[in-house]
Amino acid sequence: MAQGQGQYHRPIGVTLLALGAGLAALFQIWRMLVFMGIANFGFIGKTVSFPEPQWGQAFWALILAAIWVWVAKGFWDVRAYAVQFGIFISLFTLIWGFFALLFGSTVNAETFPMVLALIVYVYLMWPGVRDAFAQAEMSRLTPEQKAAYEQLAEANSKAGTTPPGF
């Protein structure tokens, strides 16, 4: 699918990954506003709000939002780093949500981020998804970089190993 140096068509699944990561970031920003007492939410007749800011949770939600934004940009640009960080942040969100449930959070508050993180994780583990990112990175290489990579691959095959990252 490469169309010349640096140009690569974004597959629809990668676009959906970027949108999902962006949605996760927006949710974390909204969650930060709830923890700061600026916003509240209601679910089945119950309103959740904080009379005083919860600075620790608000700061943590802001950090998670920043990471999700960075990963979403990487997905949108079809960059290989986004795959590893997407796997990391989705697993982290799942684990964090699980422990939040154990220590007092509500299912209502944790369901959406956990489901979204699970969808991102499962899609990133799907066969061939990483190949799209690897192909996009290869399309960005200069002819000299491609020649060097081919030499590295040849040397590694003679040594009985695979090139780094593949």
- Residue 158 pLDDT grade (very low, low, confident, very high; cuts 50, 70, 90): confident
Confidence of residue 159 (pLDDT cuts 50, 70, 90): confident
DSSP result, 35-68:
HTTS--EEETTEEE--SS--HHHHHHHHHHHHHH
pTM, entire model: 0.76
pLDDT over threshold 90, residue 153: no
Query: Token pair of 158, please?
Result: 């003679």
| 99/95 Cα distance (integer angstroms) | 6
Residue pLDDT, tens place only, 90-138? 999 999 889 988 987 777 778 888 999 999 999 998 878 888 888 888 8
Please tell me the number of Cα atoms within 13 Å of 139 on its side-chain side: 20
Helix axes 12-35, 129-139, angle to 10 degrees: 100
CB-based contact 75:82 (threshold 8 Å): yes
| 162-166: average pLDDT | 63
Task: Give residue 130's pLDDT.
Answer: 84
What share of the chain in percent tops pLDDT 70? 88
